[in-house]
Amino acid sequence: MKISVIGAGYVGVVLSAGLARLGHDIILVDINEEKVKTLNEGKAPFYEKGLDELISEVKDKVKATTDLKEAVKATELTFICVGTPSRKEGYMHIEQIKEACLEIGLTLLRKPEKHYVVIKSTVLPGTSEECIKIISEVSGKKFPSEFSFAMNPEFLREGNAVYDFFNQDRIVIGSTDKEIVEKLREVYKGIESPILETKFRDAEMIKYANNAFLATKISFINEIGNICKKLGVDTNIVAKGIGMDFRINPHFFKSGIGFGGSCFPKDVSALAYKATEKGYAPRLLNAVLDINRDQPMKLLTIMDNKLNGDIKGKNIAILGLAFKADTDDVRESPSLQIIKELLLEQANLHVYDPSAMESVKKIFPHLNYTSTAQEAIDNSEIVLLLTEWPEFTELNYGDKHVIDGKNVFDTDKAHLRSKNYEGICW
């Protein structure tokens, strides 16, 4: 099938490359000319495990362009994968979605064939209906007879997105039009996943509830972890014990400095904001966010105790900037919150991350960025482990104080720890 994809963020690019591997011809649209050029050279525009290889494998089937109208005109189905940024308090902007729908509507004015539009971006319940209205008003075409629309949320994890694309737990398709559901079944042919058919709002809400539940699971184990720490109990063992109950399961159950990234903080805030707007006080979601906001401070309290509150001028190694391993993404990374706090205390920071240093240099140009993790350790008296990069287990920590905020040295690797090692919740 000929498919256009709007938005070359990690979802749009992974989706394009994955669909091309399934045999489809893709036109990927982005306003950023640099990204378009990189993609047309057969390279990924950002770091994502396995993506460079996949893009170069399918480069003859993926064409990138800045021309949205041409892309829609030349294809049968369009995925909208643009960003939905939100303000600190949770209000979500869907201007880019509306803009894409407007452009699609304008293109459909002069396209006689029926076109299929699918929204992938994370949007609150009610948005699909708004999109249908825009496309319909602008193009003068009727849904579902002259154009069709579906909401098909994505559940890819950054850093595992290529694997996740080909191994999806389920594919959710929300629409009231059977025809687009059949089209999407054809699009995803080759992926062995159950398909759940729903209405628009159900599909939109499934995405939010999914992320909110996972975020809750993390804040839950962090709360238990904070209590364990006070009681001298190892949270990792407790998580293992409760994870053996099949109703709980052991996955996604690691305590640490809290969740970051471009999804959980934004999506939980957006859902809480929407609930409040509708007159419901989302107490659990607010608690999930509160616990998460405080979690990096727990690590700083442990460090404070070790240094007797005397942080000014101390040399501290920061190992890890990315919000998790296998990505260079630092959005909402707890590591950055910790750096800010330490700068306020006038500490000397020696910073290393294998992939995320360039983006952090733009935010904090004056830190001591080291060329190896070992150099950061050697220059410091205390080491903070803030991203779970596996290479951090292979370093020589001597007898330095090491505080682990990410389970770098989990139970399997406990024998590799420095003897002055302490975990945030273990």
Residue numbers annotated as active site? 263
CA distance 84 to 94: 5
Residue ranges that bind ligand UGA, judged by CB under 6 A: 122, 154-158, 211, 214, 218, 252-254, 256, 259-261, 263-264, 323-324
Which DSSP category does 92 fall into? B
Least separation in angstroms between CB 31 and ligand UGA: 21
Between 105 and 125, CB nearer to ligand UGA: 125
Between 105 and 296, CB nearer to ligand UGA: 296
Between 236 and 370, CB nearer to ligand UGA: 236
Contact by Cβ (8 Å): 235, 425: yes
> Where does residue 341 rank: exposed (0-12), middle (13-18), buried (19+ CB within 10 A)?
middle
Run of H or E residues at 404? strand 401-404
Maximum distance among all alpha carbons in the chain? 73
Report DSSP letters for 38-90, one per residue. Answer: HHHTT--SS-BTTHHHHHHHTTTTEEEES-HHHHHHT-SEEEE-----B-TTS
Q: Which residues, 6 or more positions from 363, have their beta carbon under 8 angstroms from its beta carbon?
A: 330, 336
Least separation in angstroms between CB 223 and ligand UGA: 13
Between 71 and 94, CB nearer to ligand UGA: 94
Q: Which of 388, 217, 210, 208 is nearest to 291 (CA)?
A: 217
Least separation in angstroms between CB 164 and ligand UGA: 8
Least separation in angstroms between CB 8 and ligand UGA: 15
Between 323 and 421, CB nearer to ligand UGA: 323
Residue ranges of the alpha helices (H) in 232-282?
235-243, 264-277
Least separation in angstroms between CB 210 and ligand UGA: 7
Between 139 and 219, CB nearer to ligand UGA: 219
Least separation in angstroms between CB 11 and ligand UGA: 7
For residue 2, the cross-strand partners are 25
